[in-house]
Structure 1
Amino acid sequence: MDYLAKYTIPFKGLKDDSHEFEFTVDEKFFEHFQFDNDFQGSISVKATLLKKTLVMTLDIEIAGEIDVACDRCLDRFPFQVKGESSLFIKFGEKHEELADDVVVVPESENEIEIAQYIYELILLSFPINFIHPDDEDGFSTCNEEMMQKLEDHSEKEEIDPRWNELKKLIDNK
């Protein structure tokens, strides 16, 4: 059985009303998307399907904590994941994506797999870089030893002494 099949919502047979589904995302989930980072932890997913005759609305909410590596000092720290998204599901002849948030599902379908939408929502909730948050005083909580090593090995910008002579010319105007 396909691992991602458990992230499926069967909508045939459901009454026209609101229905809630809950899922959990863990490290194994990310393995199926060939994601490079090694996240540890879990994210809770709450999917609310509002079923109507012609259109369904799927609201997805994620919340949880994952353990990530800081892009600055490489130490691991817990990162709070939170986000929400809506997906509009229309019925038609063939499966197609009309927009980022509008999907057409064939009328013969009985269920919709939402793993890809969950994955995209999680990625959109991530910052560009994972960096330790500052403490209450505004100071970095990164590993001080690693930050010192970075400082020691970073290139110091030296000003070419010839520029000083050129600056004298500008000052004499």
Structure 2
Amino acid sequence: MSNPKELRQYDIDILQLENKHYDFHFEGGNEFFAALDQNLISKGAFKAKVGLDKSSTMLQLSFDIAGSYELICDRSLDPFEEPFQTKEKQILKFGDKAEQLSDEIEIIPWETATVNIARFLFDFIGLTVPMKKLHPRFRTAESDEEDEEATAEILVYSSAKPEENAEPEVDPRWEALKKLKNGSKGS
């Protein structure tokens, strides 16, 4: 993270929290994306509701994030705004040393006083970025073309089905080899 000062607003002081449920609300804009060392999203805005369930052994975080970001169309290179919404979960277990066990579970040291959720917010937002970035004006035409291609493939497959009673065609080369094999047995 290149600008930790900008990202401090995403700190949650967990040391003073009792073992119960809490709701936090966060917002971010272009400054949030600029403060991170990444080149996936440069412009955007979001609102996030973060639920935190604290117990003596772990923190369970639930994220409900909605907003939009600017993407560049793969086809026309025109910028466009893409809306997104996502719900994710993250578990932070207390332990002796910091360690990531899986995408959803991390261990944080017992003495951790503050958790910064900026990385989680960005990771979850980044997961919503489509692989194929198409400007909305191309999407209906693209999906129509894909539907036509799928229909054509189905027609080809259905017309290529062999009849049940018909004998399969045998390659003439195999017939010639069978004759050679059978001819050597008869000698």
Task: Give me the TM-score of the superposition, normalised by structure 1.
Answer: 0.72
**Residue equivalent to 2:149:** none
Deviation track 1:148-171 (CA, whole Å, cap 9, x = no partner) reads xxxxxxxxxxxxxxxxxxxxxxxx
Q: Is the 8 A contact 2:49 2:64 kept in 1?
A: yes
Match of 1:116 among 119, 132, 139: 119
Distance 1:122 1:52, change over 3 A: same
**Which residue pairs with 1:70 in the alignment?**
73
Q: 1:139 pairs with 135, 138, 141, which one? A: 141
Spell out, residue by residue over 1:82-129, the C-alpha distance to the aligned partner (whole angstroms, 9 max, x if none): 112111111111111111111111111111111111111111111112
Instruction: Give per-residue Cα distances to partners, 1:25-44, cap 9 Å, x unaligned.
Output: 22222222233356433111
The residue correspondences of 1:19-38 to structure 2 (distance < 5 A) are 19-37=22-40
Letter in 2 for 1:139: A
2: CA distance, partners of 1:37 / 1:87: 22
Alignment of 1:90 with 2:93, yes or no, is: yes
Aligned partner of 2:141: which letter?
Answer: F
What RMSD in Å do the two structures reach over aligned CA positions? Answer: 2.1
CA distance in 2, matches of 1:68, 1:100: 25
Larger Rg: 2
C-alpha distance in structure 1 between counterparts of 2:87 and 2:43, whole Å: 21
Amino acid of the residue matched to residue 17 of structure 1? K
1:6-57 Cα offsets, whole Å, 9 max, x none, are: 1111112212211111111222222222333564331112111011121220
- Structure 2: runs of 5+ lacking an equivalent: 143-187
Q: Does 1:58 align with 2:61?
A: yes
More helix by share: 2
Deviation at 1:68, TM superposition (A): 2.3
CA shift, 1:135, in A, is 7.7
Name the SS of the counterpart of 1:83 in structure 2: strand
Tell whether the 8 Å contact from 2:73 to 2:135 is kept in structure 1 after alignment.
Answer: yes
Higher strand proportion (structure 1 or 2): 1
What is the CA–CA distance in structure 1 between the aligned matches of 2:118 and 2:22, rounded to whole Å? Answer: 18
User: Identity of counterpart residues, as a percentage?
Assistant: 27
Change beyond 3 A, Cα 1:38–1:85: closer
Residue identity in the other structure for 1:12 = L
Instruction: List alignment gaps of at least 5 residues for structure 1.
Output: 141-173
Q: What amino acid is the match of 1:68?
A: L
SS of the residue 2:84 aligns to: strand
